[in-house]
């Protein structure tokens, strides 16, 4: 039963669920449902799918997450970046609007869900750490620009295509003369209204005497107001006959049972995009969940989140949806509205099910320009060019990674952009750790503390060289330390002993072990003793399983001060060159 509760968290929080929690979850669900209806329709449009697919992707996946997820506030469903990735991946294997396109989207959700579920069962949530925050921020910024640009065709009422920014701009410019004036008016008004809703609606309602909670609900319902107003305008004025493109007939039903495609060629074509979508979706989801959980002094289990998101995507694959993940905006709304448990998501799913059953006939005349405006307003909040300024000021390597990710995503497409982001994150880590900071240290007078000789006034001994290694040692940087010791010992003072201070070393892999053995052999041949100090227990346990400790032509000291007392003798200034810091 304990293991079952670990994998099915509802069995834990469900035992203490009470009326107060139900009331808070129900209120949050009403607010999120109102917000999610236009968003679901809009993100289906972004993914190149019929609008009902957005509703379907927001029902069963949310229910499954409520059962298996560990976040009380995370709201699962279609999101902008994943929808864009879906359109990009599926567009490579099928034409939008065809049955094959829908099947490919289901297959993408299935592969994504299976990959996430497998990662969760194998406890591989740590793999998401290989994506650095600056690279993710750059990718999301570039994706936001691409998404907004891709929706301009609906604002103008023209046909335009492309997966990169140059392609989109060229296509838009070529068809700009075909723009529909009524569509453009609707698009501009809807976009302007939605931008105003975000900043100006709540203060206005409060000034008119409305309570904070009601004003907040009304503000969240702003997109619904835009949907209602523009739908009525198109219906009343007969604008659909004058070039305004509308959603049209939407099936009035609950999510159907669907099957993804299992053709080998299709699975092969979608496997890599599915993995990329899974990683990006998981990173976005976990980041949001951890941020919101911290505000309530709660914690989430990343590995269990993988299982929950995997199940949600599998649910989408078999109920007419497409890949989903936890969304930032709706999760924040869910949190602010007072959601206490994942049951708020289950209630949201029930609300969306009612909408799918009863409300779809009302959106027949909904203009696609309004949905495009909803997407544009939502994604432009993701665009953050300040990350370029911040990384430039802090780390030029991080700046280069962010800039490259943005440019590659805009210029070559989201799939290449996200793949480049993963590779750049790994390359950046390897670059930073390939040249670890190694400081020559001496003792601070009158203490047992040792500090960098280039930063502090310290005691040194001419025949004793102490190097503090500030990074774990592995195959990438092992040779760096080997060359550094060799260079330092052969210059300056007549060094008789070298101490490697390992206080910051958490790992020594086999390549680094061989380098340490080479250093020991060379120093022995030169008549120089090699010693270690402050070696951590797990590192020492591993070193003892090798021949290094037996062959060591020196000692292992518990503390650096012990090494100093044993080896330094009379401290006097050293005239040799010091290793730069």
| Range from 242-246, 290-294, 358-362, 526-530 carrying the lowest mean pLDDT | 290-294
Q: What is the pLDDT of residue 578?
A: 40
Q: Per residue in 383-437, pLDDT tens?
A: 888 989 998 999 888 888 889 889 999 998 887 887 787 788 788 778 877 888 8
Q: What is the mean pLDDT of residues 232-260?
A: 91
- Quick check: 108 pLDDT over 90? yes
pLDDT band at 492 (very low <50, low <70, confident <90, very high): low
In 3D space, the residue among 71, 93, 75 whose CA is nearest the CA of residue 34 turns out to be: 75
> How confident is residue 570, by pLDDT bands cut at 50, 70 and 90?
very low
Helix (H, G, I), strand (E, B) or coil at 101: helix
- CA atoms within a 13 Å half-sphere pointing along the CA-CB vector of 229: 15
Identify the pLDDT of residue 502.
Answer: 94
pLDDT score for 296: 79
Would you state the pLDDT for residue 514?
92
Alpha carbons 424 and 416: distance in angstroms, whole number: 12
Give the mean pLDDT of 247-264.
92
Residues 345-394 have pLDDT tens digits of 999 999 999 999 998 899 899 999 999 998 898 888 888 889 899 989 99
Can you give the pLDDT at residue 100? 92
For residue 90, what pLDDT band results from cuts at 50, 70 and 90?
very high
pTM of structure: 0.78
* Rg, C-alpha atoms of the chain: 30
State percent of the chain over pLDDT 70. 96
pLDDT band at 573 (very low <50, low <70, confident <90, very high): very low
563: pLDDT confidence band, cut at 50, 70 and 90? very high
Q: Distance between CA atoms of 284 and 82, rounded to whole angstroms?
A: 10
pLDDT in tens, 319-346: 999 999 998 778 888 888 788 899 999 9
Partners of 533 in the β-ladder: 501, 557
Rounded mean pLDDT, 532-542: 93
Mean pLDDT for 34-50 is 89
In the chain, count of helices (H) and strands (E)?
26, 8
Each residue's pLDDT tens digit, 70-86: 998 898 999 988 998 99
- pLDDT band at 2, cuts 50/70/90? low
The DSSP letter of residue 572 is: -
Half-sphere exposure of 351 (CA within 13 A, CB side): 20
Asked if residue 268 has pLDDT above 80, the reply is yes
| Cα gap 570→462, rounded to integer Å | 10
Q: What is the mean pLDDT of the chain?
A: 88
Mean pLDDT of 35-40: 86
Please name the residues in contact with 337: beta carbons below 8 A apart, sequence gap of 6 or more: 27, 28, 31, 32, 216, 344
**SS3 call for 530:** strand
Return the SS3 of 554.
coil
């Amino acid at each position: 039963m304990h293991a079952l509760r670990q994998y099915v968290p509802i069995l834990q929080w469900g035992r203490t669920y009470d009326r107060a929690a139900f009331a808070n979850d129900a209120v949050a669900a009403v607010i999120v449902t109102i917000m999610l209806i236009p968003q679901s329709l809009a993100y289906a449009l972004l993914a190149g799918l019929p609008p009902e697919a957005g509703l379907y992707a927001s029902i069963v996946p949310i229910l499954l997450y409520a059962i298996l997820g560990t976040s009380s506030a995370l709201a699962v469903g279609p999101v902008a970046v994943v929808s864009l990735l879906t359109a990009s991946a599926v567009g490579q294997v099928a034409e939008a609007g065809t049955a094959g396109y829908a099947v490919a989207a289901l297959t993408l959700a299935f592969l994504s869900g299976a990959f996430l579920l497998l990662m969760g069962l194998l406890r591989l949530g740590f793999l998401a750490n290989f994506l650095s925050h600056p690279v993710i921020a750059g990718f999301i910024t570039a994706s936001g620009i691409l998404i907004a640009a891709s929706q301009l065709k609906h604002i103008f009422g023209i046909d335009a295509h492309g997966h990169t920014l140059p392609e989109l701009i060229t296509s838009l410019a070529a068809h700009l003369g075909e723009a529909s004036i009524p569509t453009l008016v609707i698009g501009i008004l809807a976009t302007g209204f939605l931008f105003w809703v975000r900043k100006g609606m709540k203060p206005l309602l409060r000034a008119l005497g409305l309570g904070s909670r009601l004003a907040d609900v009304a503000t969240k319902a702003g997109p619904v107001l835009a949907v209602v107003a523009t739908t009525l305008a198109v219906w009343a004025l007969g604008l659909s006959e004058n070039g305004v493109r509308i959603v049209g007939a939407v099936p009035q039903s609950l999510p159907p049972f669907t099957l993804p495609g299992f053709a080998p060629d299709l699975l092969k074509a979608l496997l890599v995009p599915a993995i990329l979508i899974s990683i990006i979706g998981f990173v976005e989801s976990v980041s949001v969940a951890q941020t919101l959980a911290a505000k309530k002094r709660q914690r989430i289990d990343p590995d269990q989140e993988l299982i929950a998101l995997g199940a949600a995507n599998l649910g989408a694959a078999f109920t007419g949806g497409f890949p989903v993940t936890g969304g930032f905006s709706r999760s924040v709304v869910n949190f602010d509205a007072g959601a206490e448990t994942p049951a708020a998501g289950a209630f949201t799913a029930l609300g969306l099910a009612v909408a799918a059953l009863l409300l779809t006939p009302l959106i027949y005349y909904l203009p696609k320009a309004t949905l495009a405006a909803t997407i544009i307003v939502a994604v432009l909040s993701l665009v953050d060019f300040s990350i370029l300024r911040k990384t430039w000021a802090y780390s030029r390597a991080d700046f280069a990674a962010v800039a490259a990710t943005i440019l590659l995503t805009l210029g070559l497409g989201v799939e290449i952009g996200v793949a480049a982001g993963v590779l750049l994150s790994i390359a950046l880590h390897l670059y930073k750790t390939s040249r670890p900071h190694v400081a020559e240290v001496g003792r601070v007078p009158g203490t047992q503390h040792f500090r960098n000789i280039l930063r502090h006034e310290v005691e040194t001994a001419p025949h004793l060289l102490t190097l503090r290694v500030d990074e774990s040692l592995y195959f990438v940087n092992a040779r760096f330390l080997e060359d550094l010791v060799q260079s330092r010992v052969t210059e300056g003072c007549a060094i008789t002993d070298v101490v490697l201070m390992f206080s910051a070393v958490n790992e020594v892999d086999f390549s680094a072990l061989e380098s340490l053995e080479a250093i020991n052999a060379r120093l022995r041949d030169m008549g120089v003793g090699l010693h270690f100090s402050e070696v951590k227990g797990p590192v020492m346990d591993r070193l003892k399983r090798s021949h290094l400790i037996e062959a060591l032509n020196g000692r292992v000291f518990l503390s650096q001060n012990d090494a100093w007392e044993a080896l330094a003798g009379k401290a006097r200034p050293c005239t040799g060159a010091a290793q730069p810091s």
